């Protein structure tokens, strides 16, 4: 059977190719190009952006070398416009609202498991495969063996029917095992650093990068308890709930945390010490993509990647909207982030946190 594998130029997709060939599949590589700094620089009238931070050509060359070594044909596809329209625009719009978006989740939903999938099936494949740390069994999405690398959180918005045609070859492996296999095959990607930063854009100075797309709007930082001004922020989009570094407020030895934002007044709220203002007991989650067989009223949830599971009760408000009540207080639940549901090893899907509550009320400072 024929499999089209998303080749990123990283070690995970490289080892996925090895495993698929060992399993007897005919493997075809497909490299995605989703970001072009030169085009965006021209669009912004700024030719001086640092284009070396996300070297997609280097990634393509690494993918090409791996494919040559493994005797795999490699194709390229271009989703630059689609990535801008469906992922990056969403990212900017959420930041304007004072929220903390997760573009990787939307990239999986709209690009990797939609448009990429369509391109793959044009090549006549039976399945697609990626280097994600996840598993599928009978079309169900399951956590990877490596808890520290499990990526089901980022796959929670992918439509359920897609997983029937998806393979995750490295889902049973730990990261060190993946690197060991790549080294045994003497692949150029064996010791290559994992990609970080915004999906497909890469690791950048976040503040400098965003200045090219959203104008800075400095404003007041207020103590949420006293309402007194304690400093000046450089723009609400640069801060997230629970953040305690980079606030540049002197005069206090107490730890400071971002606890809220008022977009209409351009105010950033902070609190000192291990603040009660950071802890909530429920939230409303919308745009829920449910992957389970039937909707549940009890399960566990993650409100951030790599966060430990929290026991929750679900009160369904609509087909894709739910009130999530936590079994214990949770710190720094953040509007715009994903809430992802689990039952043991199975990922049940997830949605976007719209509103955070405590004692049945929306928090006034969020």
Task: Say whether pLDDT at 45 is over 70.
Answer: no
Q: What is the pLDDT of residue 207?
A: 79
Task: Say whether pLDDT at 49 is over 50.
Answer: no
User: Which tokens go with 329?
Assistant: 């207080």
Domain annotation covers residue 239? yes
d(CA 123, CA 105): 25
Phi, psi of 193 (to 5 degrees): -65, 140
Query: Assign residue 203 a region: left if phi > 0, alpha if psi is -120 to 50, beta otherwise?
Result: beta
Q: What is the pLDDT of residue 57?
A: 81
Q: Confidence band (pLDDT; 50, 70, 90) for 253?
A: low
User: Which tokens go with 184?
Assistant: 């045994």
Domain annotation covers residue 47? yes
Catalytic residue among 199, 283, 299, 347: 199
Domain annotation covers residue 229? yes
Please give the DSSP secondary-structure letter assigned to residue 87: I
User: Which tokens go with 202?
Assistant: 């890469």
Q: What is the pLDDT of residue 273?
A: 81
b (16+ CB within 10 A) / e for 41-71:
beeeeeeebeeeebebeebbebbbbbbeebe
Residue 330 is part of which domain span? 277-362
Q: Check residues 200 and 206 and name the one with the higher pLDDT.
A: 206
| Cβ neighbours of 22 (radius 10 Å) | 10
Residues 119 and 172 both lie in one domain: yes
Q: What is the pLDDT of residue 248?
A: 81
Task: Say whether pLDDT at 53 is over 60.
Answer: no
Number of domains in the chain: 3
Mean pLDDT confidence for 344-362: 97
Q: Confidence band (pLDDT; 50, 70, 90) for 204?
A: low
Q: Which of 224, 245, 274 is a domain's end point?
A: 274
For residue range 325-341, what is the model confidence (pLDDT) as tens digits?
999 999 999 999 999 99
d(CA 353, CA 241): 13
CATH number of the domain encompassing residue 324: 2.40.30.10
Q: Which of 50-64, 91-105, 141-155 has the lowest mean pLDDT?
A: 50-64
Q: Which of 102-116, 160-174, 192-206, 230-244 has the lowest mean pLDDT?
A: 192-206
For residue range 85-128, what is the model confidence (pLDDT) as tens digits?
999 999 999 999 999 999 999 999 999 999 999 999 999 999 99
d(CA 348, CA 141): 8
d(CA 263, CA 265): 5
Is position 339 annotated as part of the catalytic site?
no
CA distance to 8, 102, 144, 182, 274, per residue, from 192 (Å) = 12, 24, 21, 10, 38
Residues 150 and 178 both lie in one domain: yes
Residues 288 and 325 both lie in one domain: yes
Q: Check residues 190 and 209 and name the one with the higher pLDDT.
A: 190
The fraction of the chain above a pLDDT of 90, given in percent, is 80
Domain annotation covers residue 211? no
Give percent helix, percent strand, percent coil of the chain, each to the nearest 5: 30, 30, 40
User: Which tokens go with 349?
Assistant: 């899907």
Mean pLDDT confidence for 339-351: 98
Q: Check residues 140 and 45 and name the one with the higher pLDDT.
A: 140
217 close to 266: Cβ distance less than 8 angstroms: yes
Mean pLDDT confidence for 183-201: 83
Q: Confidence band (pLDDT; 50, 70, 90) for 137?
A: very high
Residues 188 and 258 both lie in one domain: no
Is position 199 annotated as part of the catalytic site?
yes
Residues 129 and 91 both lie in one domain: yes
Pairing mode of beta strands 229-233, 219-223 = antiparallel
Q: Which of 246, 274, 302 is a domain's end point?
A: 274
Residues 9 and 113 both lie in one domain: yes
Name the maximum alpha-carbon separation found in the chain.
Answer: 67
CA distance to 263, 302, 316, per residue, from 213 (Å) = 18, 30, 37
User: Which tokens go with 207?
Assistant: 């503040």
333 close to 351: Cβ distance less than 8 angstroms: no
Q: What is the pLDDT of residue 348?
A: 98
Sign for the CA dihedral angle at 279, 281, 284, 289 comes to positive
Q: What is the pLDDT of residue 42?
A: 36
Catalytic residue among 54, 67, 77, 107: 107
CA distance to 2, 11, 111, 145, per residue, from 135 (Å) = 19, 18, 20, 9
Residues 100 and 234 both lie in one domain: no
Q: Which of 253, 274, 295 is a domain's end point?
A: 274
Q: What is the pLDDT of residue 155?
A: 98
Q: What is the pLDDT of residue 359?
A: 94
User: Which tokens go with 339?
Assistant: 């809430």
Domain annotation covers residue 352? yes
Residues 339 and 266 both lie in one domain: no
Domain annotation covers residue 17? yes
CATH number of the domain encompassing residue 252: 2.30.30.280
Task: Say whether pLDDT at 43 is over 90.
Answer: no
Residues 75 and 108 both lie in one domain: yes
Residues 18 and 101 both lie in one domain: yes
Residues 313 and 228 both lie in one domain: no
Task: Say whether pLDDT at 217 is over 60.
Answer: yes
Instruction: Kindly tell me the burial class for residue 164, based on how many C-beta atoms sit within 10 Å of its own C-beta (0-12, 13-18, 19 or more).
Output: exposed
For residue range 278-292, what is the model confidence (pLDDT) as tens digits?
999 999 999 999 999
Q: What is the pLDDT of residue 202?
A: 57
**By three-state DSSP, how is residue 67 classified?**
helix
Domain annotation covers residue 260? yes
CATH number of the domain encompassing residue 12: 3.40.50.620
Residues 179 and 254 both lie in one domain: no
**By three-state DSSP, how is residue 352 classified?**
strand
């Amino acid at each position: 059977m024929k499999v089209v594998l998303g080749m990123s130029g990283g070690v995970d997709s490289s080892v996925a190719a090895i495993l698929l060939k060992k399993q007897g599949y005919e493997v075809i590589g497909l490299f995605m190009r989703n970001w072009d700094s030169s085009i965006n620089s021209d669009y912004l009238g700024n030719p001086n952006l640092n284009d070396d931070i996300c070297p997609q050509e280097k990634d393509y060359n690494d993918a090409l070398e791996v494919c040559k070594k493994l005797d795999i044909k490699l194709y390229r596809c271009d989703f630059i416009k689609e990535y801008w329209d469906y992922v990056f625009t969403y990212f900017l719009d959420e930041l304007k609202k004072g929220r903390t978006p997760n573009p990787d989740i939307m990239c999986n939903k709209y690009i990797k498991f939609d448009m990429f999938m369509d391109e793959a099936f044009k090549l006549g494949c039976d399945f697609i495969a990626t280097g994600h740390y996840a598993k599928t069994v009978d079309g169900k999405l399951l956590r990877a063996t490596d808890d520290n690398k499990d990526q089901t959180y980022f796959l929670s918005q992918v439509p359920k029917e897609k997983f029937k045609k998806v393979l995750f070859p490295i889902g049973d492996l730990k990261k060190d095992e993946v690197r060991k296999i790549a080294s045994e095959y003497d692949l150029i990607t064996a010791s290559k650093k994992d990609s970080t930063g915004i999906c497909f854009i890469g690791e950048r100075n976040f503040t400098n990068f965003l200045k090219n797309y959203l104008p800075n709007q400095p404003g007041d930082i207020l103590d949420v308890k006293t309402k007194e001004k304690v400093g000046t922020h450089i723009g609400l989009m640069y801060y997230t709930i629970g953040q305690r570094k980079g606030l540049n407020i002197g005069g206090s030895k107490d730890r400071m945390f971002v606890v809220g934002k008022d977009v209409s007044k351009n105010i950033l709220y902070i609190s000192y010490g291990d603040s009660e203002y950071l802890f909530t007991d429920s939230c409303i989650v919308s745009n829920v993509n449910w992957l389970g067989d039937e909707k549940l009223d009890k399960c566990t949830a993650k409100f951030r990647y790599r966060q430990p599971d929290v026991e929750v009760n679900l009160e369904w408000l609509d087909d894709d909207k739910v009130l999530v009540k936590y079994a214990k207080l949770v710190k720094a639940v953040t509007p715009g982030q994903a809430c992802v549901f689990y039952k043991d090893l199975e990922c049940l899907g997830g949605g976007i946190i719209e509103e955070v509550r405590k004692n049945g009320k929306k928090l006034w400072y969020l």
